[in-house]
Amino acid sequence: MIQCKRAYLPAADEDGQRVLVDRLWPRNCRKEDLPLDGWLPQLAPTTALRREFKGGLLDFATFRQRYRQELAAHPEHWWPLLERAAGGTLTLVYAARDERENNARVLAEWLEEELERRADPSSPTCYAGKPLE
């Protein structure tokens, strides 16, 4: 199971593995106060894409499409999260105020699709040169 949670909400036992998926550390949040199992800033949208979306130059649909293109171009960034998600609950931690339209939601959707593809015996056996085991 993959879920998303704001960095400013308290951690819970049901969060499972908690991974921060923002390029920048959350504001006003001390590192020792944010329980995490990892921080993968390279998984976040590029700085240019994040700024365009945050600045209102892109709507969420366009942001989502462009971020998914970035994810497709770098499977080495998200591939390790598939194993974590397959092994139990994975919580993608993010700092955005909007709980519905943010990079963690897009990433969660992407990872869920990849997990489904891995489980589907009729799907291809490799993705971007990596076996789907």
Q: Which residues of the chain have pLDDT under 70?
A: 120-133
Residue 39: per-residue pLDDT: 96
Rounded to a whole number of angstroms, the distance between the first and last alpha carbons of the chain is 19
Q: What pTM was computed for the model?
A: 0.86
Q: What is the spatial distance between Cα 106 and Cα 129, in angstroms, rounded to a whole number? A: 23
Host H or E run for residue 112: helix 103-119
| Structural domain count, the chain | 1
Residue 120: per-residue pLDDT: 66
Residue 76: per-residue pLDDT: 94
User: Which pairing describes strands 17-20 and 2-6: parallel, antiparallel, or unpaired?
Assistant: unpaired
Residue 119: per-residue pLDDT: 79
- CB of 75 closer than 8 Å to CB of 128: yes
* Structural domain range at position 121: 2-131
